[in-house]
Structure 1
Amino acid sequence: MASNADLPETRVRKGEAKAQAGSQTLLRGLDVIEAVVDGPIGLAELAARLDLTRSTTHRLATALVERRYLSFVPRLGYQFGPKLLELGFQAQQQTDIVQVARPHLEALAASTEDTVHLGMLDRDRALYLDKIPGRRRVEINSRVGDRHPLTATGLGKALLLDASEGEWERLFQLDRASGAPPADYGVWLKRMHGYVDAGRTFDLEENEDLIRCVAAPIRGAGGAIVGAMSVSSAAQYMADARMTALTAEVLETARAISSDMGWSPENTGRAAPRGRGRR
């Protein structure tokens, strides 16, 4: 006669309990890793922070040291190990901003019916990496691979939101000398400070006649600006009121891409996608 331990339902319950215990151990291990993010931490403080016993904390931390996710420094405590550096580098190498941004940009182009661009800084120019045409019959003079003036395009200005005023002025003068449309630096500078506060930028027909856009920066894991995206259309579809209304959607898209690129406000101390030009 079979014992209760041999019954199928008993074996299922045991398997579920084992899986649940394994998941709990995994989550606790991840909690240990996250608790070390601010630097070396001793066993007693680590246990208190995690609300675990010292013996449980020591067992988890020791296992992570053995697998090189953590390292132990005498008199200092536990800190990130070489395995995390290796994985972080591999994750960074595998992150392609075009692939990451594509679905977000497609959704934005569909909802706005306007053309959406993605770009990044390429020396002293804005390099266009992707372009998704909108449904409106608006011809915009841009192509993937084009390099445009930073200070005359909404996307380019978004890439500069964290730069200093000295860098702004240098690039402004460089763009004018390289053939960018004429502009008054005082007016441009005042607008840039407003853009920094808003966390987004506008192109008010500065780069191409009758074309306007709303743009925002994209941030990477470290909080730095790694790219920018914009919504562009003919001026007739981009009255001041609509550009203001588009701001929330553009910022939300940029935040979503930033998050997928590894950005986190808890880790960087920044509110993305937003920066402040250093004065």
Structure 2
Amino acid sequence: MAGNTSTPGATVVSRALALLSAFDTAHRHLTLSDMARRADLPTPTAYRLAGELVRGGMLVRRPSGEYVIGRRLWDLGLLAPLQSGLREIASPFLNDLHAATLATVHLAVRDRTQALYVDRLSGRASVPVVSTAGSRLPLHATGVGKVLLAHAPERMQEQVLGDLSRMTPYTITQRSLLCGQLARVRRDGYAITEEEMTLGACSVAVPVHRSAAGGEVVAAIGVVVPTLKRHRPRLVAALQVAAQGIGRSLEELR
């Protein structure tokens, strides 16, 4: 639920936000009744607000009657300083990485307890990938997510470690095992997954620091490949070169 927005005193803005917040990675298509229920709004109120959001381009109503997030909302989200500036700075390095590896390349930031995918370049290999630019995936089951989780505040780590959902038979759901992996991420400077988010897909990722000399981790970049058995060192090296370039460019803007 998005909150107790049906109580007296809730503003129109708060109700509209609750309606938009009804959508998440597990609920990309919602009927009006589902939106109203998840937003804790009366159905007539949800219907009126949904109509206004559709006219404003924030929602799209499909012929089936279901609602989805509109392009206008995504366009506005890209204007956020972190996403827009980081995406623009990282773009040439991601393209170089894509050309060098021919793999699917990801740029992600932490959005509370999820990995928000700011950019994605599709690889040539036939590897199942569930991410899209703008999507959110679990921190504990993705390469970029593990990097971001390893460098997250302790309070946030505890929140994620308390709810380790299983995505595939290989997802790490044991707290002690994941904690050991996070310690190795901080020690070795990279994270891996092996079919933990999607069967047939492995990933390796590294942190992006705010400067070339290190400091705060502001993002993670990663690649998705069919296997890591032979090419892990080469992929890690390519990722680290790209990450250092992004960090250097971020430092120059300060």
Would the TM-score normalized by the shorter structure come out above 0.5? yes
Identity of aligned residues (%): 29
Identify the residue that residue 208 of structure 1 maps to in structure 2: 198
Cα shift at 1:158: 1.0
Among 198, 202, 223, the alignment partner of 2:188 is 198
Superposed CA RMSD: 2.7
Q: 2:233 matched to 1:244?
A: yes
Return the TM-score normalized by structure 1: 0.55
Question: Do the aligned residues in 1 keep the contact of 2:207 with 2:243 (CA within 8 Å)?
Answer: yes
Q: Return structure 1 stretches of 4+ with deviation > 6 angstroms.
A: 92-95
- Amino acid of the structure 2 residue aligned with 1:207: M
Q: 2:97 matched to 1:108?
A: yes
Q: 2:208 matched to 1:218?
A: yes
Return the TM-score normalized by structure 2: 0.60
Distance 1:247 1:94, change over 3 A: closer
- For residues 83-162 of structure 1, the aligned pairs below 5 Å read 96-162=85-151
Cα shift at 1:169: 3.5
Give the length in aligned residue pairs: 170
Cα shift at 1:168: 2.6
Distance 1:246 1:165, change over 3 A: same
Question: Do the aligned residues in 2 keep the contact of 1:220 with 1:263 (CA within 8 Å)?
Answer: no
Distance 1:260 1:204, change over 3 A: same
Look at both structures and tell me which one has the larger radius of gyration over its CA atoms: 1
Higher helix share: 1
Query: 1: CA distance between counterparts of 2:174 and 2:234?
Result: 27
Extract unaligned runs of 5+ from structure 2: 1-80
Query: 2: CA distance between counterparts of 1:198 and 1:263?
Result: 26
Question: Do the aligned residues in 1 keep the contact of 2:141 with 2:172 (CA within 8 Å)?
Answer: no
Query: 1: CA distance between counterparts of 2:157 and 2:83?
Result: 32
Cα shift at 1:95: 7.2
- Greater shift, 196-205 or 244-253, is seen at 244-253
Distance 1:94 1:247, change over 3 A: closer
- Amino acid of the structure 2 residue aligned with 1:243: R
- Amino acid of the structure 1 residue aligned with 2:225: S
Query: 1: CA distance between counterparts of 2:119 and 2:84?
Result: 16
Query: 1: CA distance between counterparts of 2:83 and 2:172?
Result: 41
Query: 2: CA distance between counterparts of 1:93 and 1:206?
Result: 28
Cα shift at 1:182: 5.6
Identify the residue that residue 222 of structure 2 maps to in structure 1: 230
Query: 2: CA distance between counterparts of 1:115 and 1:148?
Result: 16
| CA-to-aligned-CA distance 1:168-192 (integer Å, 9 cap, x gap) | 3421223439x78462222221122
Q: 2:160 matched to 1:171?
A: yes
